[in-house]
Structure 1
Amino acid sequence: MSFSIYHNLVVKAKITDVYNAISQPKHLINWWPLYCKGIPEKGEIYNFNFTDTYNWFAEVISCETNNHIYYKMKASDKDWNTTTFGFDLKAENNTITIEFWHKDWQTCNAEFKQSSYCWAILLQELKNYLEKGTVISFENRE
């Protein structure tokens, strides 16, 4: 048995801007990690750095421009190492629905619950980044 996190949010933004915000390191650092390096192509490795202790790596297992990107954790902490997370984008009228998921958690432990909460906060920061251009410094992020 495994556990999964799901969050959907609707943003008023161009689909290319949304895709770039979830796939391009220069945009990811504006709402999630402190430092990021990677290329949105299948098989490429991303470095998501939060601190020296939390210097994580994930492989792109699937991506399609303006449609989705999925990451499989390769080096992180023991709870995240088994997981895969991704973003599916659905365009409707003048909005984009971001369907976020984070699957394959082995236990519904404190780390799982904290990660679900943190993703909700971070996705709100993504929404504010896309709609308002708001960038919160890494030190001030939840």
Structure 2
Amino acid sequence: MGFTIYQDLVVKTNKPNVFEAISNPTILEKWWPLKCSGQPEVGATYNFNFTDEYDWYAVVASCKTNDHIHYKMTKSDVDWNPTTFGFDLETHKHGTQLKFWHKDWPECNDHFKHSSFCWALLLKGLKDYLEKGIVIPFEERS
């Protein structure tokens, strides 16, 4: 049994805008990786590049436009490699309920705990981007 990170938040915009921000590489770059490529379709490969040292890859395990996208890591580091993370979207009276999860962590170690904290910060950055147009420079996303 692995460990799982969960984060839920409401974003004051519609599901298509949120889906675009979690699946379109150009918009992903505004709140998560330095560089990104990929297509939101099952089996497609995404490249999440943070630096030359952290040039990671994932495959889209499941995707339904404006509903969800789930990424299975294929090339990252020892702790991230067995993991899958996903974004599930639901309509909410104030916009969109984003239900994030990152499962199959092998250990509840320092890296797991740090990643949990980082996901919270990054998802706040996603929310601020979608609601206020704020883009945090890559060097300040930690």
Q: Same fold (TM over 0.5)?
A: yes
1:141 Cα deviation after fit: 1.4
Q: Distance in 2 between matches of 1:5 and 1:138?
A: 23
Aligned to 2:103: 103
Give unmatched runs, 5+ long, in structure 2: none
Aligned to 2:71: 71
**Which residue identity is paired with 1:123?**
L
1:112 Cα deviation after fit: 0.3
Q: Distance in 2 between matches of 1:141 and 1:119?
A: 10
Q: Distance in 2 between matches of 1:108 and 1:77?
A: 15
Q: How does 1:11-26 map to 2 (within 5 A)?
A: 11-26=11-26
DSSP 3-state at the match of 1:10: strand
**Which residue identity is paired with 2:6?**
Y
Aligned to 2:117: 117
Give unmatched runs, 5+ long, in structure 1: none
1:94 Cα deviation after fit: 3.7
Give the TM-score, by structure 2 length. Answer: 0.98
**Which residue identity is paired with 1:101?**
W
Q: Distance in 2 between matches of 1:78 and 1:91?
A: 35
DSSP 3-state at the match of 1:103: strand
**Which residue identity is paired with 2:23?**
S
Aligned to 1:7: 7
1:15 Cα deviation after fit: 1.2
Aligned to 1:129: 129
1:101 Cα deviation after fit: 0.1
Note if 1:52 corresponds to 2:52: yes
DSSP 3-state at the match of 2:129: helix
**Is contact 2:83–2:103 with CA below 8 Å preserved after alignment?**
yes
CA RMSD across the alignment: 0.6
Q: Distance in 2 between matches of 1:120 and 1:38?
A: 23
1:6 Cα deviation after fit: 0.2
Give the TM-score, by structure 1 length. Answer: 0.98
Q: How does 1:24-39 map to 2 (within 5 A)?
A: 24-39=24-39
1:93 Cα deviation after fit: 2.5
Percent identity at matched positions? 59
Q: Distance in 2 between matches of 1:129 and 1:79?
A: 28
1:49 Cα deviation after fit: 0.2
1:92 Cα deviation after fit: 1.8
